[in-house]
Amino acid sequence: MTMASGAHLRVNGIRQHYLHFPGSGPCVLIIPGIVSPAMLWCHVGAWLAESRECFILDVRGRGLSESGPHLDYGFDACAADVVAFAQAMAREAATVVGHSMGARIALRAAASSPGLFGELILVDPPTSGPGRRPYPVPKARTLAMLRAARRGEALQAGANPWPADLQQLRAQWLPTCDERAVHAAYDDFHGQDMFADMERVAEPLSLICAGDGGVVDDTDLAEMHRRRADLRSVRLPGVGHQMQAENFAAFRQALDGMLDRHRHTIEGSLD
């Protein structure tokens, strides 16, 4: 298994921490979700490094990146972090994989910096926004999980439990997440329009959505395809929102297919 190296980089005025899985192929940048420090995506990074180079960000207020009451945790600030990180690392047209909140941040980052990234692969992005149904994971549940982890209590298993090793990592790393960041993310989930960002992004878009959990329902999916005729999408039946942990085999197959189609598209354009 390829081992990660962790490092800090001061960009956009804050300390950003990231994991790097060196590989010989194209670059993939992963932006995790609302309470997912980079460590919880190590197994994904190790797999990707078999054929690609991979970076996984600790979004501000999570993991080992800077946190505190002095920070703006809104999506605009988080997107500016991603842009500054990509510019500093100077990897050409990295493919961005954003999960949940990370997908919303990825869209905002790409919309603000045309041409900086390659394809965006959105993994079960919250479709809530002004005039839309709320994000189906209640904020109270997310905060309760963080507080339980801080007390050292066992985390309650969901309908699709995590493997024991990832569940242990989750318990260890959840306490690094700043509750202020959770409040800000939920505010932007409901106060900002993801669909408008989709229309502003020039780069190719792909979507992997869960069959369970209702984060992206069929109405959402149909609207996404109406707004982006080029959108490629796949729904994974029987798989929940935290698919990268709950069913890594299904997630890996779907993501590998999206990445391979993107690579073939680029190669075809160069012929």
d(CA 268, CA 271): 5
Strands (E), 113-237: 120-123, 205-210, 232-236
d(CA 128, CA 18): 28
**Domain residue spans in the chain?**
5-265
Residue (of 87, 227, 241) closest to 219 by Cα position = 227
The whole-number pLDDT of residue 266 equals: 44
- Angle between helix 101-112 and 75-89 (nearest 10): 70
pLDDT(271) > 60:
no
CATH architecture of 5-265: 3-Layer(aba) Sandwich (3.40)
pLDDT(51) > 70:
yes
Q: Which of 2-11, 22-31, 219-228 tops mean pLDDT?
A: 219-228
The whole-number pLDDT of residue 158 equals: 64
- What's the pLDDT band for 270 if we cut at 50, 70, 90? very low
Using only the alpha carbons of the chain, give its radius of gyration: 17
pLDDT(171) > 50:
yes
- What's the pLDDT band for 25 if we cut at 50, 70, 90? confident
The whole-number pLDDT of residue 3 equals: 64
Q: Edge to edge, what strands does the sheet with 120-123 contain?
A: 5-11, 14-21, 53-57, 27-31, 95-99, 120-123, 205-210, 232-236
- What's the pLDDT band for 155 if we cut at 50, 70, 90? confident
